[in-house]
A and B are shown apart, each in its own frame.
Chain A
């Protein structure tokens, strides 16, 4: 199926003896924004982190079932993690720019993935400007590209964290509550930015803010206690949820 970017089948995951995911099945459509909602501890971040396999760094994680990314088994034997993570970028809850200049932050992954091949300064300049323009940051920072990225405001830092994924041309972006550390104005700006990526990237976004899921996603998946409860177009899920648990959650009965 060419229009599916991420597909999990019967995905189970354990942290040691604690089971965090139970038979999760979901298809994330290519070029769409899909939000993952559910109360704290429901496994939404775990699911997100399974897609680019960052969970494995914790030695005690065990998974069964399968995750396909762009039609390829992400847990296949010949999968090189560097290739997978180049294709699947990740944005975290707290902006985490590297303690380098704005310029070096944006070009970091590009430099790693290009290996020893020399790139001219002008090639890098093009990539840099393009990435920063995509996240609407170029005009604000173009005169201080050598400044340390940690001196930017939180909103700018989070935009930069998105920008640094772009030069290696990923197709999937994973976002783990990307606006929860931001104020209202910055949240709106980030949501607008994410919305503008629609069609260009497949985006899977974890959020605890139901209204954000409603505003800024096309498909919505509701998880509860490690299980995938319901996946539907966002408007449908919020207007006519199929399960009472979903209805309770989106009405704020718990969280």
Chain B
């Protein structure tokens, strides 16, 4: 895997909100078709990292980003059409965000933005994405129902379906299981393992065991810094460079 060209190459990335440093000099590579785990306690900069990848600073005057982010070798700050970038990058948030529109419209939203108008084509995308997100069977008879009224677990699968509707090459997940029941969590984890065959996934998680189950490689963030990146197996078998990583993985804090 490592001999591939990286899908995502981050060099010396820093993020600030006003005077507050959220991320300090992060460098890492994410390779195609891997699940890249990011673990770390609250406020360690994990979410800021994801936000920077999608150039969210454009919507947040308070946020400044420094450093280089290369997506398939291309500097994303130099990409003129950032909307096209964001369409290639799907995002799933900690709390499920079913948009206040029907289930169908939720999934058809991004394709419509991309200019797809034909009903048959949209129907096909909606069905395919809902099946992939393991939600189709539960909602196929009520696609007109409001997405925001589904249960938390269903809404989270809806947001995954919505992210997939963009045909993303990179899927970013931010603590997706925080408000989701155990059964749904396991179903989504299975979905992710399948998706890995086609796309690259960055998985931010507050559950170290989830990173252990899913991630090929895992990075440990602490207090705005990257402590280390390692093969997940090594990280959990105690082959760590930094004592703090061991402390965290073993639950000494967080």
Contacts and interface: CB of A to CB of B under 8 A. Distances in A.
A249 B186 CA distance: 12
Given A211-B250, A255-B185, A255-B206, 5 more contacts: A183-B41, A187-B253, A188-B252, A253-B209, A254-B186
Contacts of A215: 252
List 9 A-B pairs, minimum CB-CB distance, nearest first: A252-B209, A211-B251, A254-B182, A184-B253, A187-B253, A254-B185, A255-B207, A252-B207, A40-B178
B154 interface: no
Interface string A230-255: 00000000000000000011011111
Contact of A255 (B42, B177, B252, B253): B177
B194 interface: no
A184 B41 contact: yes
Most interface-central of B152, B181, B212, B244 (chain A CB within 10 A): B181
A16 interface: no
A212 interface: yes
Contacts of A253: 182, 186, 209
A253 B177 CA distance: 11
Given A184-B244, A255-B207, A209 B251 contact: yes
A181 interface: yes
A65 interface: no
Contacts of B43: 181
Interface residues of B, number: 27
B254 interface: yes
Contact of A184 (B181, B186, B209, B254): B254
A41 interface: yes
Given A253-B186, A255-B207, A210 B247 contact: no
A61 interface: no
A211 B251 CA distance: 5
Contact of B208 (A224, A225, A252): A252
Contacts, number: 61
Describe A's contact surface by its main secondary structure.
loop
Contacts of A41: 152, 179, 181
B210 interface: yes
A210 B186 contact: no
7 contacts: A41-B181, A184-B41, A187-B254, A209-B251, A211-B250, A248-B182, A249-B182
Contact of A180 (B42, B207, B247, B248): B42
Contacts of A211: 250-252
B177 A254 contact: yes
B223 interface: yes
Interface string B186-212: 100000000000000000001111101
A179 B252 CA distance: 12
Interface in A189-236: 209-212, 214-215, 224-225
A248 B213 CA distance: 13
A39 interface: yes
Most interface-central of A179, A181, A209 (chain B CB within 10 A): A209
